[in-house]
Amino acid sequence: MRKKVIAGNWKMYNDLDATAELLNGLKKGIGNSEAGCTVIVCPPYTSLSLASSLLKGSIIKLGAQNMYFEEQGAFTGEISAAMLKSAGCEYVIIGHSERRTIFRETNGMINLKIKKALGSGLKPVFCIGETLEEREKGITNEVLKTQLEEGLAGLGEDDVNKIIIAYEPVWAIGTGRTATPEQAQEAHKFIRNVIGEKFSPAVAGNIIIQYGGSVKPDNAAELLKQEDIDGALVGGACLKADSFLSIIRSA
């Protein structure tokens, strides 16, 4: 039985005041009892330390939205895995489609980031997904397979056991156009099969595969009911405590 994982990707939203307001709202709504699912918030870098201190004693876990794969050095504007650890992060989103498209991240760079995150004790939330053009061409599965093979190249079963995969069809991100539960389930099943072939049936059976792309309080339950959907990576709807709490309750 895989425990559902609901993560909120805040993207480039929320200054320190808004961070405190949102986290206090979430803490109040969740309480300190053990939730039936794992809850992660991924604020921008500038809010991580504040979030870490506000979340002390809470079941809500902390993640970052990106990192660089080098240890340290002259990489102006970049943040290392060790810095994220020292700021209190347990998770890090890697390979989000906005990083891939706007900041030109390649599968090769994403692979280096995943390896560095794992080596530093961070759990990667590894994002993959096809564009609308790729879906319409009928090459969704090839695209997902390549992203998985190149992103996870050189990793062993023990490494992959620590990774969460987030399937985020690019055409569903921020568009209000969610994949249907059937479309999402089909992709998730395919992803799990690829993991089974590349690693082992046991790894495939345990790995958490989240769906992301216009997840809202009114569609979360239907998506989360699907056999191979183990959680959600939420963008817009995680910025208000009420709507994020409602999605957490669906899980």
Nearer to ligand 13P, 84 or 232 (CB): 232
Which of 212, 223, 243, 244: binder of ligand 13P (CB under 6 A)?
212
**Per CB under 6 A, 213 contacts ligand 13P:** yes
Nearer to ligand 13P, 61 or 96 (CB): 96
Task: Tell me the chain's radius of gyration from C-alpha atoms.
Answer: 17
Determine whether 5 is exposed, middle or buried from the number of CB atoms within 10 Å of its CB (0-12, 13-18, 19+). buried
Binding mask 80-99 for ligand 13P (x = CB under 6 A): ----------------x---
Rounded least distance, CB 62 to ligand 13P, Å: 16
Query: CA-to-CA distance for 237 and 102, rounded, in angstroms?
Result: 22
C-alpha angle 251-115-48 in degrees, rounded to nearest 5: 55
Amino acid sitting at position 98: E
Q: Which residues pair with 165 in a beta bridge?
A: 126, 209
The residue from 34, 96, 98, 150 that is catalytic is 96
**Per CB under 6 A, 223 contacts ligand 13P:** no
Tell me if residue 96 is catalytic: yes
The residue from 98, 105, 134, 168 that is catalytic is 168
Under DSSP, is residue 7 helix (H, G, I), strand (E, B) or coil?
strand
Query: CA-to-CA distance for 243 and 105, rounded, in angstroms?
Result: 31
Count of CB atoms situated within 10 Å of the CB of 26 = 22
With CB atoms as reference, the residue minimizing the distance to ligand 13P is 235
**Per CB under 6 A, 235 contacts ligand 13P:** yes
- Both tokens assigned to 221: 């339950």
Which of 156, 174, 201, 205: binder of ligand 13P (CB under 6 A)?
174
Which of 22, 207, 223, 233: binder of ligand 13P (CB under 6 A)?
233
Query: How big is the site for ligand 13P, counted in residues (CB under 6 A)?
Result: 14
Q: For residues 5-44, which are near ligand 13P according to CB under 6 A? A: 9
Under DSSP, is residue 210 helix (H, G, I), strand (E, B) or coil?
strand
Query: CA-to-CA distance for 166 and 230, rounded, in angstroms?
Result: 10
| Binding span for ligand 13P by CB under 6 A among 53-61, 199-207, 229-237, 243-251 | 229-237
Tell me if residue 149 is catalytic: no
Nearer to ligand 13P, 77 or 176 (CB): 176
C-alpha angle 38-40-41 in degrees, rounded to nearest 5: 160
Task: Decide: 148 and 190 in contact? Cβ < 8 Å.
Answer: no
Q: In the complex, which residues of this chain contact ligand 13P (CB under 6 A)?
A: 9, 96, 168, 173-174, 212-215, 233-237
